[in-house]
Every structure is written in structure tokens, then in C-alpha cells.
Amino acid sequence: KQEVTQIPAALSVPEGENLVLNCSFTDSAIYNLQWFRQDPGKGLTSLLLIQSSQREQTSGRLNASLDKSSGRSTLYIAASQPGDSATYLCAVRRGSQGNLIFGKGTKLSVKP
């Protein structure tokens, strides 16, 4: 059974810091991995999608890497801003069914 773990559960940093969020999964046979952002009480915003054949994806200040063999992904946020404060969720796509298996998220707080 696929399990997704995100560490740390919560993170507080001063504005301007570069930071790394971690995601690990137990079954390396994934189709892809998707990083989301969720603001309190809101829906999910897709940040980056990494296919199983890819090593990394970049969008603006965000960079996500994938090491399928070790069951790990990292989300790197450069020059953090207070507007980055949110919960970040990673989810892996389980088999050909397309179902997403989510981690519990990392709650990020960026202090001005």
C-alpha cells in the first residue's frame, strides 16, 4: 500500500530564506508526483507536476525534484515571501487508475 509522508509537518522561516520541503513515498512504482498549495479553507492549487521519467520541474521560484528509486521528492522555494505561507501537499499518482495519494502536508509560515 502506497504511503506518502511529508516532513516537517510545520515550518516557520523569516522572509527571504530559501527552504526545502520533503516528501517520501513507499512504493517507487508511481506515474507522477504533484505538488499543491492550499490556503486555509480553500481548494488546492497545482504548483508542479513531475512525471516518473523526469528528475525535476521548475516554475518561477519553485523547483521540485524527484528521485523515484529512493522514493523522495523535494520542493525548493527560493527567496521565500509572506505570501508563500500556506500548506504544501505532495501527492503521488497510484498506478494506471490515476488516483492521487496525498501526504498530510507541510504548513509553512513565512514571517515578514
Partner 1 sequence: DTEVTQTPKHLVMGMTNKKSLKCEQHMGHRAMYWYKQKAKKPPELMFVYSYEKLSINESVPSRFSPECPNSSLLNLHLHALQPEDSALYLCASSHGRTGIYEQYFGPGTRLTVT
Q: Which residues bind partner 1 (CB under 8 A)?
A: 30-32, 34, 36, 41-46, 49, 51, 89, 91, 93-100, 102-105
- Beta strand 106-111 with 10-14 is parallel
Contact in structure between 33 and 66 (CB atoms under 8 Å): yes
Q: By three-state DSSP, how is residue 44 classified?
A: strand
Residue that the C-alpha cell 504511503 belongs to = 3
Among residues 30 and 110, whose Cβ is nearest to partner 1?
30
Minimum separation from the CB atom of position 15 to partner 1 (A): 25
Among residues 5 and 18, whose Cβ is nearest to partner 1?
5
Minimum separation from the CB atom of position 67 to partner 1 (A): 18
Runs of H (alpha helix) within the chain: none
